[in-house]
Every structure is written in structure tokens, then in C-alpha cells.
Amino acid sequence: MIKAGIIGATGYAGEELVRLITQHPQAELVCLTSQSYAGKDYDEVYSSYSHLSYVCEEEDIEKMADICDVIFLALPHGVASKKINNGILERTRIIDLGADFRLQDIDTYEKWYTTHYSKDILPEAVYGLCEINRDKIKGRRIVANPGCYTTCSILSMYPLVKEGLIDNSSIIIDAKSGATGAGRGLSLANHYCELNESVKAYKIASHRHTPEIEEQLSYAAGEDIVINFTPHLIPMDRGILATCYANLKGKYSYADIKAVYEKYYGRERFIRLTNEGVFPETKWVKGSNFTDIGFAIDERTNRIIVIGALDNLFKGAAGQAVQNMNILFDIAENTGLDYVPIFPA
């Protein structure tokens, strides 16, 4: 059994990790920590766990490194780089759900986030987008688990960029997120009366996931890519829908483009390509590790419109983290993740 620990287990992504590890047939949750609820029974925070006897512990990452085969960090951005060092990595593996190890360009990270405190180990981190970097993830000591917006956006556009079918300077991504994407902390913008019956764009031309999407698509293209990315907050609990636009370089049929997506994703367990004229909806992926992708070609403008959908807490956070764990420990990638989406919910 893989002995797993979770730091930050009482946030939304942390709770989803607890749920998945608890039900994982080859993993055992041996330690979970919470800064806000240390010493409390876990079911005092989430009553859905009243049948289990988990206790929120004070964080001691040095102790955890000695008893855990893998530690998940479900922490705010800018915290993980203060905690991880070579001594920790010599004893355990790290899967970080924050942004601290996602960007390899340190100047870009510090421009969009904050000071990085583990520059010496940053080059060792691998970007844990499983369907693209699977072979790079194997054998690593530290995995940077991608976020929800980035996973949906990159997976949606990757085949087109990789095959050079679009004008890379024309990429526009318009994405919507459920409220859990903002985390569990109290915020006026997330109060029911502020959020309900409204849709709003935020952090226009300044969202911190922009350089992450750009960096990964640039690797695929072999050239620097700059995009427009605009996120929106919508009044639902969970889900990401990314609508992506780009100019095609030539005249392609639906079958031409579908063949390209099949080339990259046709055998992927957790990517589902929709049929022609059918476009993903967040309710189709809720409570699952699936990313659904569909597209249409606008013959009038010779643009392609790609729609991607995923559950931000599952494939966009905890589910992908477990998928990364499975790869790290060389077990079947879908172990503990074969959940059929919940409907209705």
C-alpha cells in the first residue's frame, strides 16, 4: 500500500483528495493536516466523514517525510516553495497542487506570483499534465500538479498547436469556473448574494494561470506563444468550461481535425472526444476525472472553436494528483479514479 499524507486537507481540493485516497485500493491515508482545524476530528469540518476516524494534525513535514511514500500539498500559491527541500525529497515524493513548481522560468513565476524559495529544486519538478507528460513524470521526486483552468485549456488546444494547424498568435481562451475554484476561504465575491444570478469576468489580462498555459503550449509549438485568457465566475459549485478560438492556417474539414485529436487522445482513458455537433457541458463531467473536448470549424472566418469541460476539483485538482501518484508508483493510471460522472447533481 502507498502511504499518503495530505497537507492542507480541509480546503476543497484537500477534501477531494481525502475522499479519493480513502477509496483508493492501493493507497492508505496515514496523515492529514490542517492549519485552521488542527486537533479537531475531520468530521467536525466535513460531516460526510462521520463514519471515519480521521483527525486533523498539526503540520510537521519532516515527520511526514519519514512515514509517507508521497505527500500531497493542497496549499495556497507561494507556500510550498518554503517547505520543500532536497532533504524532504530524499525521503518522500511530493505532488504539489499549487503553482510553486509549475513554471520553469523563475522570473516569470516571481512576476506573476511571489518570491520563490526553492530555486535549486525547481528544475527537477515536472509539470504533471498526465496525458502529455506521462513519460516525464515517471521516476520523478516532485510533480507540479496543474490547475483547473490550465488543464482544460492546454488539453483543448494541445493537438492543434503540436501539429502546427493554427496561427499561434490568434489563440483566445474564454473560460468559466464554478465557485469552488476560488477555494474555501471567506470572500465577499463568493457570498451567495454576490455570486448568485450573475456571471462576471475577473482578472482580465492579468490572471496568473496565463503564463502557465503559454509556457506549456510554447513547449508544444517549439516557439513562444502569447494568448488572451479571460476567466469568468459562474454561480455553480464545480466545473470548468473553456471556449478556445484560433485561426486555422489552411482549409480543413471536420474529419481532418478529428483525426488529429484522435491521434493524441484516442487511447486516453480520461479524455472523451464528443461527436460532431455535440459540445461538452460541465454536468457531463461532474464528479469524475474526465475531460470532454469537442470542436467546430467556422468556415466563414476559417476559425476553429474548441470546447473543453472538466470538474475543477477532480481532473482540475485532486483527481489529476491521484493520477500522477499512480504514474509515480507504476500502477494502473486509472486506479481509484474510475468514477462515472454524477448526474443529476
Going from the C-alpha of 53 to that of each of 26, 47, 260, the distances in angstroms are 19, 11, 48
Q: Give the C-alpha separation, 183 to 48, whole Å.
A: 19
Residues 73, 93 within the same domain? yes
Residues 293, 222 within the same domain? yes
Q: Is the pLDDT of residue 71 over 90?
A: yes
Residues 54, 158 within the same domain? no
Q: Give the C-alpha separation, 267 to 256, whole Å.
A: 18
For 142, list phi and psi in degrees, rounded to 5: -140, 130
Amino acid at position 238, single letter: R
Q: Give the C-alpha separation, 154 to 302, whole Å.
A: 21
Within-domain flag for 337: no
Give percent of the chain with pLDDT exceeding 70.
99
Q: Give the C-alpha separation, 98 to 140, whole Å.
A: 17
Its domain, for residue 278, covers 149-310
Going from the C-alpha of 340 to that of each of 167, 270, 283, the distances in angstroms are 36, 11, 12
Within-domain flag for 339: no
Q: What tens digit of pLDDT does each residue of 78-128 get? A: 999 999 999 999 999 999 999 999 999 999 999 999 999 999 999 999 999
Residue 279: beta bridge partners? none
Within-domain flag for 162: yes
Nearest to 182, CA basis, from 197, 157, 200, 162: 200
In the prediction, which pLDDT does 194 show? 79
Where residue 181 falls among pLDDT bands split at 50, 70, 90? confident
Report whether 105 contacts 215 (CB < 8 A).
yes
For 159, list phi and psi in degrees, rounded to 5: -60, -40
pTM for the whole structure: 0.96
Q: Name the strand (E) or helix (H) holding 67.
A: helix 61-67
In the prediction, which pLDDT does 186 show? 61
Residues 320, 289 within the same domain? no
Residues 56, 197 within the same domain? no
Residues 94, 73 within the same domain? yes
Residues 127, 71 within the same domain? yes
Average pLDDT over every residue of 316-335: 98
Q: What tens digit of pLDDT does each residue of 263-314 get? A: 999 999 999 999 999 999 999 999 999 999 999 999 999 999 999 999 999 9
Amino acid at position 308, single letter: G
Distance spanning both ends of the chain, measured CA to CA: 33
Place of cell 475531520: 42
Residues 175, 28 within the same domain? no
Q: Give the C-alpha separation, 120 to 141, whole Å.
A: 14
Q: What tens digit of pLDDT does each residue of 147-168 get? A: 999 999 999 999 999 999 999 9
Residues 59, 168 within the same domain? no
Within-domain flag for 262: yes
Average pLDDT over every residue of 64-90: 95
Residues 59, 40 within the same domain? yes
Residue 127: beta bridge partners? 144
Q: Any catalytic annotation for residue 148?
A: yes
Residues 127, 35 within the same domain? yes
Q: What tens digit of pLDDT does each residue of 19-49 get? A: 999 999 999 999 999 999 999 999 999 999 9
Average pLDDT over every residue of 226-235: 96
Q: Which of 148, 152, 193, 244 is catalytic?
A: 148
The CATH number given to whatever domain includes residue 157 is: 3.30.360.10
The CATH number given to whatever domain includes residue 67 is: 3.40.50.720
Q: Give the C-alpha separation, 144 to 138, whole Å.
A: 13
Ranges of beta strands (E only) in 164-253 are 172-177, 200-201, 228-233, 240-247
Measured from the Cβ of residue 206, the count of other Cβ atoms closer than 10 Å reads 9
Residue 303: beta bridge partners? 247, 298
Q: How many domains would you assign to the chain?
A: 2
C-alpha dihedral (188, 193, 199, 203), degrees to nearest 10:
-10
Residues 176, 72 within the same domain? no
Nearest to 306, CA basis, from 160, 148, 140, 188: 160
Within-domain flag for 342: no
Amino acid at position 198, single letter: S
